[in-house]
Structures are given as C-alpha cells and as structure tokens.
Chain A
C-alpha cells in the first residue's frame, strides 16, 4: 500500500518561506548597485519608425537599441521571429522600441518621456477574418470524410468563438540582469530557465558557460512565464550589456497587460455530418487562432488545438484544418491548456447543440460518443490505457444530483432561476508526438551529500503549483527516507541539468518519472556518508502503437491522456441577466495523485480560472489597444464569485508515470467553459456560441423569442 500513501498531503517545502514573507520574488532583489530599465513602447499598431528624437543623454544614463545586440536582435523560443527591440517597423501597440537605463526607475522614466518617435502609419489588420497573412497552418484527415459528407442526411454547422485571456498572475514579469567580465547572469520570474539561457546565447553569441539563468521565487505563471520571460530576459540582458551595470527590469501591471502574451482568441467552424437517426458520421473542423503580430510559439498551440478538436469524443471520419493568422495586436502565446481549451469548448458545446437540434438529451447524446479504452483518437492514435470517463460522468452526475436538479429547476419561475450543465474533456498529457525523445531530451540529477541529504537537480520550476514538494515526495518515497532529508532547489542553470521546460502538464509525468528512476538507482547504489550523483536521461518506456507522424498528423499524439467532467450549477437573475456560480463539481483522472492537497489546490484554481474564462474575463482590443489593461477593469473572479467547489478523482495509475501519476495542471481549466455555457443554456433555453458569456450577451439573447 506504499503507492497510495504517496497521495497523503505533506507540508509544502516552500510553506515557511512564503508564509513568513522571506521568499524573494524578483522585485524583492535590492542592491545599491542596481540600475533600472524602462522600455519605450510603440503607440501605433503598425508603423514605420521615421525617426526617434533622443535628447542629449545625461551622465549615468544609457539608451539601448536593437542594433546594440551583438549577434541577432531576435527572440529565439521556437523560431527567432520577434525582435528584442524594434525601431524599424513596429507591428503592435506595446512593442518594445528601445530601453532607457538609469539609476532609478523614475529617472529612467523621466528621460524616456523626453524621447519622441515619429511614425508613418502602415495598413493594419485587427480581425482574423480579414487577415490574409497565415503565420502557420496544419491539417489532417482521418477516414474518408469527403465520401461521408456527400452521403450525409444532414450537416449541422456552427461557428464558435473564444476570447483573449490574460494570465493575471499575482506577480508581474521581471528580470534582473548583470553582465560582468564576459558573463551574463539573469535572475527573475520564469517558468523555463533554459529557454532564456538559449535565447541569450542565440542573441549575444555567448557559449553555455557564459550565461547563467537563475529562477527567483515566482508568483504564478499559467504559461505567461513560459515564452515571454525570454523577451524580458533578453531586454534586461541587453540593458546590462550596454550599460555595464546590473539592471533590474520589472513591469508594472499595466505594462505587463499591454505587452505580454495572451491566450489566443479563436474562431472555430464545426460541421457535423449526421444520418437519419442523428448519429454523427463525420466532422469537419476549421480553427483560426489570432496570433497577434508574430508567430512566437503559436505553431505548437494551433497543433494542439487541432489534435484535440474532438475533445473526448470519438468520430471515425474527420477533416481538420487550423491556422494562426497575423493581426496587428499583442502577441498570443502559452497559456494553461495551450490551444485546446478553445477546441474543447467548441466541440463539447457543438455536440450539446446537435443533441438539442435533434431533440435528444444532451447528456446521453454526448455520453454515447465518449471515448473508451481501445478507441481511436482524432488523429487515429489509440486510447491504450483504461479510460474511465463514462464512470466519471456517472460519478459527477450523482454527486451533483444533476438530473433531479435539472428537473426541479425547469419549473423555476421567479426572478432568480437556476440551471445546471455538464461538460466532458480528454486531453493529452505532456508534449505531443516524440518531442520528449527528439527535442527536449530531458536530464535530471540527484545529488546525495555526505550527510546523506538528497537534492533533486532539475530545471523544472515551482511557480506556486508545488511541484518541488511533489518531486521531493517521489524521491523520499522511493528511497524510503524522511521527506525532510530531500530538497529541490530553485533552478540555476549553472547547477541543474536541462530537464526541459515547465509546461504541458509534463513535470510530474516526465521529470518526476526520471527522478523516480534516478532515486531507484541511488537506492541500489546508496553508500552512507558518501557523496553520490545520479543522472538520468529521458527514455520512452512504451513503444507507440501507431507512431506519431508529424507530417500527416497521424498516430499517437500523446503517451497518455487525462480526463475530466465538470458540472456547473448557476443562478440567473432574470432582471439583470447576471449569473451566479452556485456550485461546481469536477471529477478528474490524473493517474495517481502525488499529494492530494497540492492537486486539489490546482483543481480549485483551474476551475476558478476556467470559470473566469467562460464568464467574465473579457478583453477587448480596439484598433490595437487593449481596453481592459488593469486588474480593476480586466475582471477575474474573486472568492466572492465562487460558490461551492467539489473535487473528486478516479484512481487510474499510469504505468509509465511516477507512482502512476500523469499530467494534471491544465485539466481543470479546460473543461469549465462548455459546462458553464451548458448550464446557462439550461436556464435561458437559448443557444450560445461564444465565450466569455457575459451578462450583456445573455441579456441580448433574452430579448429574442425562443
């Protein structure tokens, strides 16, 4: 029974330093030697910069430009397309033009305010439907959709849309950089230290040993500190390189919101071929993501949207096309779910609408298409592991008393009327295809010191989710030593190997597994009182059944899948069209739980963030300018907005994960939107195709007769 005891909650490793206020976030790093940087940003959505008028630069002040970058003035994450600083042709409002460095932030800002930029405006595009620039596209076909569509009794078609979303991490972006004696050291808020390490090497031409990246304590990431800190890191590094001073670059909230990445807004066309009985024969899916001004990492985002375009459902014939289009808006990037929350919302909502169109019960209709072990994925991969989504559906329906409530609420007649909805999802854990084997090639190290304490050396970052505590648990449990004997330091690229980025719900499943294997070896080789180092490399533990083919988008997209179902209970105020979240239930399959407390925390947070995405997190960009640019007008839920949260799990150990664990972090987020919309539809008896589903949209829908 050891394997179940791993789930028992422990005190977090970072509890004391955080609760006492000792934890140092990037803005807590102070030194009399520091200089401060301010970034002059574009005020135009697309313009050629005709001239920049810089007054005489005072002593102890520097201006850094793109041309000061020694090798290439580009940000390398996936592809080097964005500029570190762009003073030639700006592509969005908020794009960085130049950096001012001075002794204080106020001095830097004052000097920056004296700089004037002369722009020559160029044609702009703010709407993906009008954009003719495809930054990236991909497609796949499964079965014979052409034939099936031709023979269909009926084709049910919908266009569904989702909005931009701001990460709203508690701590804004920030990096401190110091260039001294040919060495560049950067420290700050980040999820992926080696992304920054690599980007600095690329732009500055340094070798591995001359770049050092250190993670400070991080106050939330959600993907917002996956790709974007490479931009901040390069800018801070350049500021230090030009000035020769240690430079701190920390954004305030408004600068953070207008300049950093957002979740991709999406426009999704779903066409479903039906036979006479209303059975689904085939689907045609067309997804367009708003990439903003640069591709950035959107290639993998759209691929993920597309691979998950069927959500948890099984359809034999599929045609799918996805593209990322360019607009003159802020760049979109990584965000919890990474492209699939959009298509999972769309497909789940679409199926519920088909049922409604057919006059069928939407729960039973959707349930009948839910995947089972042995079924084929959208890309003709195999669901090879046990799939319990139907049992989970039964569990959540029972726990929420779904049917009784739906029946009772249908008789509500007063000002306040309740409704209840459900959503289903399945999504791949970790990276797609063979990315771990062929590209990431993760490495972990365990160092046992002479006093027999053990350190986990990994590049995975703890940004509040608690992964370092969980890693320590995996090691302590494997070595059968007390948890207090194991630690996991914040990554410093000089000390830790590259175990890959912290994203894609991969940390426990992939890095945790490598640590478990390293710990097993250490256990065998353990010599008391001796310093020992064990290194483990990633390896595929199971052969793919249908190996992933990147070109055809065919095969096993993922090693395994996570599943969830979410029931949402809401109360509509028929006078104001406001909706109150009364209760939300989630049942999750994340393999086996490594620390129940931490996982529940992630599930709660993900459900709340998903609720915000579905209901109130409205971000409007007008002529390239983000309207909701602060936390008093970009509205995220408060504790007051959340009713009861009820979280439960099925135990479904994954054979290639540490103690049976698999991906968890993104799962709770991805299933809320369709469940929420389904609940509101249950009250209003209207159909909604767009999130965030705001009171304004509900009010408008209620003006129309059913």
Chain B
C-alpha cells in the first residue's frame, strides 16, 4: 500500500497507518535519505504537534520524539549536557530537520544524543493502537541499527530522569569540526557533595555497536572522597581500559579510540578535582 504521500494529521492517525501498513516512520529524514531504500514505504511524522513538546515533571524531562535539534536548542528547559551534544550535531540545516526520536531510532553507534541520554537513565515510551509500553534506552538499542520497536509501535516520549549532577563533561571527536560523524563521543557527569563523589557516570558513543556505559565501574567511585578519587584515578582509567574494546573502521583506529577515551576519562576526573578539590 503506497502511503508515501500521506501526511497523518494526528498521532492516532499515524498509529493507525503504522498498524495497517509496513512503513518506515521518519521525521526529518536526515538519516533515511542517506541510505534510502527505493522499495520501502515511509510514514512522515514530522508534522505532529503531540510529538514536539518538552515538559518537566517529577518523573523528569519529557521530550517529544519529534523535537528537532534546533527546537531543543531553543528550549530553556533543555538539559545543559544534552544541549551541548545537540549543538555539535552536523550543521544548522540538519539540526533544523533532525529529531531526537530519529537519533534514537536510527541506533547508530555514533548517535550524538545517546551517551547523554544514557547518563540520565532515559526511558522511552512506545505507543501503538493497543496501548503503550515503557523500556529503558539501554534495552531499546539492541545492536547497531537494531532497536526493540514493534512494527505497530512509534516512539512518542523520551523521559530523562532527574539527576543531581553538578559537574558535566562532553567531548565529541570527529574527523572535522562540523558535519562530522564522531570517532569518539564521551559524555560524563558527576555529583559532588561535601568533598564526596555522590554520583559518577560516563558513557561513550562510536566505540562499539551500541553506546556504552559501565555502571559497575561507576559504583567503585561512588561514595569516595575527592582525595580517594585522586588516588584511584589511574585505577579507574585502567579499569575502563580493561572494558573498552573499540572497533577500527574507516573513521578511526581501535588504538586511537581506546587511548584517547582513557585520556578523556583521566581529564574528566582532573576537571572534577580542579573544580571541587581543595586548592
């Protein structure tokens, strides 16, 4: 059934089409156009106001999956770390079209928003005519370009949970300074209270077929004093080194990815010590 030219006027209509037809849902189209399948049918979701809200409640931030990167940047309530990651995406033209929902569902190993969303234990609300279910981002991204989205479902809501982080770190290393797919992206955040590491989180993109976060390694740092953090810095870096086993591809090498990631972790810890340490 050819539905390429249909533009649903409501989320319900979109869900109906999604239920009835085999379609690839898209919003800005910045990813699907790159490797477009001439035989596929597409469902355009970019015009649905229901998917373009950013709200905040006790659960956290609710990001409509249809929020474009540009509109996220314009939202006062957009979390700073997400804003930082989004501001480094591609170019203004692509940011005007690309959406956060698209970035998640494309499930690229280099997805720019994914490391930040992981730091906020993000949940996703998937809706179909039958109802809705909620999965963690971590579980949703199964593998490279492979997501846990059923053929009648649409991603509607992205919930970033509240965090008390008071220290942030973000690095995107691309092949150039704009219009670039990352070789390494690292998002990190910490909560430091009274000289103690109350929370500590690091995540990566472009290192593996899915974005990475190692919660067990983070636990080894939590509750430690800043002095202990300083003392254990090399051990933390080393522990990450044991776990990071990046790929070599046409963009970069495994050695570079691993070596630089470990330097970034060290640098992240240094920035914590500089900001909150005695001195």
Contact = CB atoms under 8 A, between A and B. Distances in A.
Nearest to A629: B250
B251 interface: yes
Nearest to A106: B38
Contact of A627 (B250, B256, B260): B250
A638 B177 contact: yes
Contacts of A627: 250
Contact of A641 (B178, B251, B264): B178
Interface in B173-215: 173, 175-181, 184
B30 to A, nearest CB: 11
Contacts of A577: 256, 260
A524 B255 CA distance: 71
Contact of A637 (B176, B255, B256, B259): B176
A626 B14 CA distance: 41
B267 A633 contact: no
Given A616-B175, A616-B176, A575 B264 contact: yes
A628 B177 contact: no
Interface residues of B, number: 24
A641 B177 contact: yes
A152 B255 CA distance: 41
B143 interface: no
A262 B45 CA distance: 41
A695 B256 contact: yes
B171 interface: yes
B34 interface: yes
B96 interface: no
Interface in A673-706: 695-696, 699-700, 703
Interface in B146-189: 171, 173, 175-181, 184
B4 to A, nearest CB: 15
B145 interface: no
A637 B175 CA distance: 9
B31 to A, nearest CB: 11
A576 B175 contact: no
Given A576-B264, A633-B251, A699 B259 contact: yes
A316 interface: no
Contacts of A384: none
A207 B263 CA distance: 68
A699 B176 CA distance: 16
Contacts of A641: 176-178
A138 B176 CA distance: 39
A415 interface: yes
Contact of A415 (B175, B176, B184, B267): B267
A580 B176 CA distance: 9
A576 B178 contact: no
A578 B260 CA distance: 10
Nearest to B259: A699
Interface in B39-78: none
B217 to A, nearest CB: 20
Nearest to B248: A696
A385 interface: no
Contacts of A632: 34, 179, 181
Contacts of A633: 181, 250-251
Interface in B85-139: 91
B260 A575 contact: yes
A contacts with B: majority SS: loop
A640 interface: yes
Contacts of B91: 638
B173 A576 contact: yes
Nearest to B175: A635
B252 interface: yes
A640 B177 CA distance: 6
A635 B176 contact: yes
B233 to A, nearest CB: 14
Contacts of A27: none
A628 B181 CA distance: 13
Contacts of A415: 267
A43 interface: no
A680 B163 CA distance: 41
Nearest to A630: B34
B245 to A, nearest CB: 17
Nearest to B177: A640
A198 B254 CA distance: 49
Contact of A696 (B178, B181, B253, B263): B253
A639 B260 CA distance: 26
Nearest to A574: B263
Contacts of A636: 176
A157 interface: no
Interface string A635-668: 1111111000000000000000000000000000
A620 to B, nearest CB: 6
B176 A638 contact: yes
A106 B38 CA distance: 9
A696 B252 contact: yes
A624 B245 CA distance: 28
A320 B265 CA distance: 50
A703 B259 contact: yes
B181 A700 contact: no
Interface in A366-421: 415
Given A633-B251, A696-B256, A640 B176 contact: yes
B178 A620 contact: no
B267 A575 contact: yes
A616 B180 CA distance: 12
B33 to A, nearest CB: 11
A699 to B, nearest CB: 5
A616 B251 CA distance: 10
Interface string A429-444: 0000000000000000
Contacts of B38: 106
Contacts of B263: 575-576
Nearest to A627: B250
Contacts of A578: 173
A578 B181 CA distance: 15
8 contacts: A106-B38, A635-B176, A638-B176, A640-B178, A641-B178, A696-B256, A700-B255, A703-B259
Interface of A: 106, 415, 575-578, 580, 616, 620, 627-628, 632-633, 635-641, 695-696, 699-700, 703
Which A-B residue pairs are the 3 nearest by beta carbons? Answer: A640-B178, A635-B175, A627-B250
Given A635-B180, A636-B176, A640-B179, 11 more contacts: A575-B171, A576-B184, A577-B256, A577-B260, A620-B250, A627-B250, A635-B175, A639-B178, A696-B253, A696-B256, A699-B255
